[in-house]
Amino acid sequence: MPAVAQTPPGTIIPNFATVDYQAPSGLPETAISNLVEIVTVVPRTASILDLTRVLPGAPGVVEAIGPASCNLSGTGFVALPDPLLTGGISIDPNQPQTVVDALSYHAGEAVFVRVADADQNLDPLLRETLSVILQGSPGGDAEEILLTETAVDSGLFAGYLQSATGSPVAGDCILQLSVGGQVFGDYTDPADATDQSGDNVRVDPSSRVFESQLGQPVDGASITLLDDASGLPAQVFGDDGVSIFPSTILAGGTATDSGGTSYNFASGEYRFPVVSPGNYRIQVIPPTGFAAPSTRTIAELQLLSGAPFALGPGSFGNPLASGPEPGFAVDIPLDLLSNELFLQKTTGNGVAAIGDFVQYQLLLENTSALGNLTGTVITDRLPAGFRYQSGSLTIDGIAAADPVVAPDGRQMTIDIGALPAGGSVAIAYVVEVTAGTPLGKAINQAQASANGGLLSSNSATAVVNIAEDLLASESLLAGRALLGSCKNDSGADESGIGGVRIYLEDGRYVVTDETGRYHFEGLKPGTHVVQIDTITIPPYLELIACEDNTRFAGSKSAQFVELQPGSLWRADFYLRELEPAQGQVSISMDSRLLSQKRQVDYRLSATVTDVPVTNARVMVLLPEGLTYVSGTARIDGQPVSDYAQSGRMLNFPLPDGKDWQQEIRFR
C-alpha cells in the first residue's frame, strides 16, 4: 500500500503477514511470515527555472510571487522590500499576481523568478524555501536569493530581486544591469548536483535600421511607434518609466525625455525604452535613396553581414503580433532605390607568357537613381604572379597617381572620388607577368563601391591564358586512388575512389574523378611531392602503407616523384575498408503535467557511447491536441534556436562525436 504524504523520509515501515488455519488434529493454528521493512526516501524530480514578469491586469497565470530574501554580503539572508515595477509601482509580494514569461527586462524593474522542483517539497505542512543565483551580464553582478514555496505542498517556488543601473556590487541585494546586457537565473538542486536548470533574458535591447544589400547600418530613418488600434502615436516612457519619451525618433540620432535625460544612439540604432503592454505598429520614413518596407525575405537578410537580425512582422510595417515588453527589439531593413553601378573589365591580351606585359581597361558607369555618388572606389584583384607597373594608371586618358597596392602585390584600390549621375569613367593600367605566374587561365576580378560602401557594382572579370613557350620542358603527373592492395590495379573503373583531393607541394590540387583518376599538367621537371588529403577520404576507408615502395618514404599519404622533361609519371594511392565501428545510441523521454500552466513539460535524454555519430537529429511527434510552446526548448539548459517545426513534428539537432549525453527539454 502507498505511504501517505505525511510520512517523513527515512521512516522504517515494518510489514508481516499471519495465516489462521485448522490443523489436521482439529485444533486452530496461526503461522507468522518473515518481517519485511521498507525505508521511505524522497523521489528525485527534474527542476525548471523560469524568469518572469508581473503584469497586473494582463492575461496570464495568477500565482504567488514571494516573499523573498537575499544573502546580504554573505552575512545571512534578509527579507527584501516590496518589489517595484516599471514606473515605480509597488506591489505586495504576499498577494497573488498575474505572471507571464519574461521576454526582456527594463533596468530598474524587479526581476521575478520561479522554480518548479517537487523533490524540494520536503514538508507537506510548511511553505519551504530554496536558493537561486541571479546574475547580470556584462558586468557580472551576482546575488543569491531565497524563493518561497507558493503554497504548502506545491513544489513550486517564487521570489524576486530589484534591479538598477550602475556599477555592480556583489552581495548588496540589488541586481545591477546595463542596457543591451542579459539577466541569468541559475538553480542547482542541493540534494542532486546533476539537477540544474536556468533561464536568461535580454535587458533593454536596442533595434537597428540597416541596408538590405550589405547589412550596413543606416542613419536618418524616422521611426514612429503607433498604437495599432487607433493609428495614433503610442505613449512611450524613458528609462525611469515615468518621463515622457518621444514616439518619433531618428535612427542613429539623439533623443531627450521630459525628465531631461539624453539618449545617444549608435549608427543605425534606435530604442523606445518603456511601453505598456499592447499591440503596436512601426512607421518608417526612410532617408533619401532608400525605400521601406524591404522586399527581401527574412532568410535572405539573415545571410548578410551583421546577422542575426531581430526580424518579424513589425520589421516590414505590419502590426506586432503581441505588445512589446520594455526594451523590445525590432530591426528594420531598407532597400536601396537602385543599385545600377555598372563595371566592365577587358584586356587586349587573350594569351600571354612569362615576362609579357598585359594592359587592362575598366569602364565604370553611374546609372543609379541615387544621383551623384561620392567616395567611389574600385577594388581590383590581380591573378597570382601579376605585378602592377608603377606609373601606368590613367583615368579618362590622363595619368593618375598609382593605386594603393596591398603587401601581397595583388589587391589594388583605385580611388575615383565623385561620380556624377549618368556619368562614367575609363581606367587603364599595365601589369607584368612574372616568373611566379602559374600556367593556365589567369582570372582578374574587380568591383566598385560608393557612398561609404552602401552601393556596390557587379563583379567584373577578365581572363588571360598563360602559356609556356617551350612545351617540351613540361611534364605530366597522373595516378589513381584505388581500393585494393599496393600491387592491385586491374584497371576497372569500380576500383577507383572518386572525390579525393590530391595536393602538390606548391599548394595546387585536383580532385579524383568517379573512377579515382587524377592528373597534373605543365609541371616543371625535378623532384615533387604529391600528397593525398586525408580529410577527403571517405570515412569508411583508410590508407595502406606500401612498405615495398621507397617513394612513400614511410608515409602513407605522401610520396616523392622525379619528373623528367616531357615525361609522364604515375603516382597511385591505395586504400582499404575499415572495420565498422561498434557502439550504442539510446534515447529516453518522460513528461510531467504543469497543471497551473495547463502545460506538459517534456524531458528527452539522448546518449551515445563508443561510436561516433554525425548529423544526428531527434524527431518528436506531439500527441493530438498538444501544441509546442514557443521559446521553451532548451538543450542542456541553454535556449535552442537550431530546431525545426512542422505541424506536430519537432526536430532537434544532436552534437557530432561519441561518448556524450544531452538533455532536451520543452513544453
pLDDT greater than 70 at residue 490? no
Rg (CA), the chain: 36
**CA distances in angstroms from 57 to 95, 104, 193, listed in the order given:** 14, 19, 39
| Mean pLDDT computed over 63-74 | 91
pLDDT of residue 324: 47
Query: Which stretch, 133-142, 268-277, 605-614, has highest mean pLDDT?
Result: 605-614
pLDDT band (50, 70, 90) for residue 1: very low
| Better-scored residue on pLDDT, 74 or 199 | 199
DSSP β-ladder status, 61-63 and 262-264: unpaired
Which residues share a beta bridge with 133?
A: 144, 186
| Better-scored residue on pLDDT, 473 or 98 | 98
Which residues share a beta bridge with 22?
A: 28
| Mean pLDDT computed over 490-517 | 86
Q: Are 608 and 660 in contact (CB under 8 A)?
A: yes
| Mean pLDDT computed over 54-76 | 85
| Better-scored residue on pLDDT, 2 or 567 | 567
pLDDT of residue 78: 94
pLDDT greater than 60 at residue 596? yes
Pairwise CA distance, residues 415 & 371, whole Å: 19
pLDDT of residue 3: 42
pLDDT of residue 306: 83
Conformational region of residue 259, where left means phi above 0, alpha means psi within -120 to 50, and beta covers everything else: alpha
pLDDT of residue 368: 65
pLDDT of residue 546: 73
**CA distances in angstroms from 249 to 282, 336, 431, listed in the order given:** 11, 21, 52
Condensed to tens digits (0 to 9), the pLDDT of residues 167-214 reads 888 889 999 888 778 899 999 999 888 899 998 888 877 889 998 877
Condensed to tens digits (0 to 9), the pLDDT of residues 561-571 reads 888 877 788 88
For the chain, give the percent of residues with pLDDT over 90: 33
Cβ burial 648-659 (10 Å sphere, 16+ → b, else e): eebebbbeeeee
pLDDT of residue 134: 92
pLDDT of residue 379: 93
| Mean pLDDT computed over 467-478 | 71
Query: Which stretch, 54-58, 371-375, 477-481, has highest mean pLDDT?
Result: 477-481
| Better-scored residue on pLDDT, 277 or 542 | 542
| Mean pLDDT computed over 126-155 | 89
Pairwise CA distance, residues 431 & 449, whole Å: 23
Pairwise CA distance, residues 288 & 467, whole Å: 51
Condensed to tens digits (0 to 9), the pLDDT of residues 113-132 reads 999 998 888 888 899 999 99
Condensed to tens digits (0 to 9), the pLDDT of residues 341-388 reads 788 888 877 888 888 899 999 999 887 655 678 889 999 999 999 999
Which residues share a beta bridge with 592?
A: 601
Condensed to tens digits (0 to 9), the pLDDT of residues 547-560 reads 666 676 667 888 88
Condensed to tens digits (0 to 9), the pLDDT of residues 415-432 reads 998 888 888 999 999 999
Pairwise CA distance, residues 329 & 547, whole Å: 64
Average pLDDT taken over every residue of the chain: 85
How many CA atoms lie within 13 Å of 335's alpha carbon, on the beta-carbon side?
Answer: 13
- Determine the longest span between alpha carbons in the chain, in angstroms: 135
pLDDT greater than 50 at residue 255? yes
Pairwise CA distance, residues 335 & 47, whole Å: 47
pLDDT of residue 544: 85
3-state secondary structure of 423: coil
pLDDT of residue 353: 85
- Extract the C-alpha cell encoding 582: 561498434
Q: Are 370 and 340 in contact (CB under 8 A)?
A: no
pLDDT of residue 168: 85
Pairwise CA distance, residues 398 & 404, whole Å: 18
> Which of 411-415, 579-583, 646-650 is predicted least confidently?
579-583
DSSP β-ladder status, 222-227 and 156-165: unpaired
Single out the residue of 135, 332, 127, 144 nearest to residue 223, CA to CA: 332
Residues sharing a CB contact under 8 Å with residue 67, sequence separation 6 or more, in sequence order: 79, 80, 93, 94, 148, 159
pLDDT band (50, 70, 90) for residue 665: very high
DSSP β-ladder status, 558-563 and 526-532: antiparallel
Q: Are 57 and 130 in contact (CB under 8 A)?
A: no
pLDDT of residue 4: 42
Condensed to tens digits (0 to 9), the pLDDT of residues 287-323 reads 877 888 998 899 989 888 888 888 988 999 898 765 5
Residues sharing a CB contact under 8 Å with residue 410, sequence separation 6 or more, in sequence order: 381, 382, 383, 384, 386
| Better-scored residue on pLDDT, 87 or 431 | 431
| Mean pLDDT computed over 65-74 | 91
